[in-house]
Chain A
Amino acid sequence: MSDTTTDPVGSRATGAPDARTRRIPASRSKPKKNLFAGVLLAPTLIGMGIFTIVPIIGSLVLAFFRWDIISRPEFVGLANFADIALDPTVRVSFLNTIVFVVIAVTLQLGIALVLASMIQERLPDWLRVFFRSTFFFPLVLSAASVSIFMGYLFNEQFGVVNWLIGLVGLAPVPWLTTPAGAAAVVIIVYVWQNFGFSFLLFVGGLGNIPKEVYEAAELDGASGFKKFINVTMPLLSPTTLVASVMAVITALQVFDQPYVLTRGGPGDSTRSAVMVVFESAFEQLEFGRASAIGLVLMLLIMAVTYVQFQLSRRFVFYQ
């Protein structure tokens, strides 16, 4: 038995060399350990290989072909990309998605931040728990169910929303039958279901701000609003970055709500980018084209995330 330079099994796998010297039984040879790691990793790695890595390569290849799954795939070069760049439905769907993301994410983060800062101080514990659970609750429901009952609430003739509007003496709003109304409903339903997630992140972030900082600001005579701008916002900026990146990535993939509420209509007014991927592939059987649209969407997601992180260099303040 000798001191060995190879790390024994069971050492912290953080990559940091362990200062302590350990003795391990000589029988534990390295190949055996590798084999055991391989056995443990096999289900996950093989699964990911087959259902993520191969498909992503498949999508990359397929984007250069025209294929309806029945006849032989035909190589078309960049034709799919040229085609989707010129296709009004694709263009509108991407534009819709971007407008949706900007409005929905702004609302989602704004509402979440306001509510999270409101439950921070001077609330009895039971009320804080009640509000936190309530705002979290929609997250456990399926977007399809939520879209079904929200669709009824926004029904033009029989819906509760227009009934409420009528109480105030206003004319009923044609929610789901006009482009602007339908887009508004999709946004409202989406934000209703998802603001709780950003809320949770903000509650965590606000909880991490030391009370002393506020006390110091109060001693300097800072008012509530000034405290919020000069203390809360900078100290909360790392949380805001994470919350906004996650909200944007999720919102760019919106599908369930517009599909169930409006099927993309009226016209193309609520058609999202993912809906077009779905329709190209499984309704029009243009798998190459669907792959190309999917790749463009993925590039958009990556680009937006990259820009957010770049911007964060200027605005995010780390303690």
Chain B
Amino acid sequence: MTTQLDTKAKQPLRRKVRRPVTGAYIGRLAVLLVAAVLTLGPVMWTLSTSLRLPSESFNLPPRFIPWDPDFTSYSEVFAQIDMIRLVVNSALMTGFIAAGQMITAAMAGYAFARLKFKGNKLLFGLVLATMMIPVQVTIVPVFMIIRGMGLADTLLALIIPAIPTAFGTFLMRQYFMGVPAELAEAAEIDGASQWRIFRSVYLPLATPGMAIVGILAFNYHWNEFFRPLILTISEENFTLPLGLVSLQGNMGTGSISVVLAGVILSMLPAVVVFFFGQRSLRAGLTAGVGK
């Protein structure tokens, strides 16, 4: 309320400055709270049910707060599927893609933003255009190219095609455009090579941009389902989402606590990134939208 008194002092013309807590305000809060409960409720139920004995999976009324946690379902997940393998596969795939995207996008973004060469604009337009091509249209030939390379049913089949990133390149180009050009001149006068200027002058300045590319890549590929479903065949190459869906299939409607324990385990890294990288994620998702 104090802040509103301040506005009153500055703007005496405003008709209603100090608004009472009206029914409309309470109604608005109520709608927001219901939306928040509907958003968090399913996740809370998932967590709570994963912490019940498998035999109590389907008990109603449902619980949303796990008062007396039981971890049987969690050990059961490791007994039912090769959970460690799934986590390692997901981590390897996501890690290599994120690192690869950060490096290649920084390189390409720098070239598009800072280097004058023939066809710069044309090539950049081409890169942007590839963003508009849906995965489904290219997946059949990609599958065949992967087979031709002898990479069928390997983790590399998931990693290599995902490294060149149009969106990441676009983000890094924007980022480098915002860095003053004068730095290069100073370095050039000192006799630094092109590579040196990129590597030692500009790249360190671009780490926040690269972090956004990395976090976005993590979020997307940790969760992706369509490509792994097509490009991997044997269970030893499955990633987490595939493993969970096959676990669900194996269990039928038997014990959902076990499946949900797997779901919660697979979510943990994503939730950690959410807490620490929320700002970067939001910035990345909405980049290029404004103006």
A contact residues vs B (CB 8 Å cutoff): 6-15, 22, 24-25, 28, 32-34, 36-38, 40-41, 43-48, 50-56, 58-59, 62, 69, 111, 114-115, 118-119, 122, 130-131, 133-146, 148-150, 152-153, 155, 158, 160, 163, 192, 196-197, 200-201, 204, 208, 215, 218-219, 224, 239, 242, 252-253, 255-256, 259-260, 274, 277-278, 281-282, 287, 290-291, 294-295, 297-298, 301-302
Contacts and interface: CB of A to CB of B under 8 A. Distances in A.
A119 B163 CA distance: 38
Given A47-B163, A219-B15, A140 B137 contact: no
Contact of A204 (B16, B19, B244, B289): B289
Contacts of B9: none
Identify the interface centre among A11, A28, A144, A196: most chain B CB within 10 Å of its CB.
Answer: A144
Given A131-B32, A158-B58, A218-B14, A145 B267 contact: yes
Contact of B133 (A13, A56, A118, A136): A56
Given A55-B141, A56-B133, A40 B108 contact: yes
B117 A34 contact: yes
A20 to B, nearest CB: 10
A292 to B, nearest CB: 10
B109 to A, nearest CB: 9
Interface string B159-186: 0110111100100000001000101110
Contacts, number: 301
Nearest to B50: A149
8 contacts: A9-B197, A13-B177, A28-B188, A41-B108, A59-B138, A69-B144, A140-B274, A142-B223
A294 B143 CA distance: 14
A141 B188 contact: no
B36 A255 contact: no
B39 A134 contact: yes
B137 A51 contact: no
Given A149-B45, A160-B62, A33 B267 contact: no
Given A40-B110, A47-B163, A219-B15, 11 more contacts: A8-B116, A13-B112, A44-B108, A46-B164, A50-B161, A52-B130, A119-B32, A146-B42, A163-B61, A163-B62, A256-B226
Identify the interface centre among B14, B36, B184: most chain A CB within 10 Å of its CB.
Answer: B36
Interface string B250-281: 00010010011001001100110110001001
B108 A115 contact: no
A207 B115 CA distance: 35
Nearest to A18: B181
Interface string B213-242: 000000100111110011000000000111
Nearest to A149: B46
Interface residues of B, number: 107
A45 B108 CA distance: 8
B114 interface: yes
Interface of B: 11, 13-16, 19, 24-25, 28, 31-32, 35-36, 38-40, 42-43, 45-46, 49, 58, 60-62, 103-105, 107-108, 110-118, 120-121, 123, 127, 130, 132-145, 160-161, 163-166, 169, 177, 181, 183-185, 188, 194-195, 197-198, 219, 222-226, 229-230, 240-242, 244-245, 248, 253, 256, 259-260, 263, 266-267, 270-271, 273-274, 278, 281-282, 285-286, 289-290
Nearest to B124: A13
A13 B107 CA distance: 15
A40 B140 contact: no
A218 B140 contact: no
B24 A224 contact: yes
Given A10-B185, A140-B219, A52 B108 contact: no
Nearest to B103: A43
Nearest to A167: B61
A282 B278 CA distance: 37
B210 to A, nearest CB: 14
Contact of B39 (A51, A135, A252): A135
B225 to A, nearest CB: 5
B225 A143 contact: yes
A171 B204 CA distance: 62
A298 B134 contact: yes
A167 B71 CA distance: 30
Given A119-B32, A260-B245, A200 B137 contact: no
Contacts of B28: 118
B225 A144 contact: yes
A56 B181 contact: no
| The 9 A-B residue pairs with the shortest CB-CB distance in the complex, in nearest-first order | A47-B164, A10-B184, A142-B223, A58-B141, A55-B141, A55-B138, A144-B241, A44-B108, A158-B58
B130 A55 contact: no
A134 B177 CA distance: 33
Contacts of A52: 130, 133, 138, 164
B256 A152 contact: yes
Nearest to B39: A134
Contacts of B263: 145, 148-149
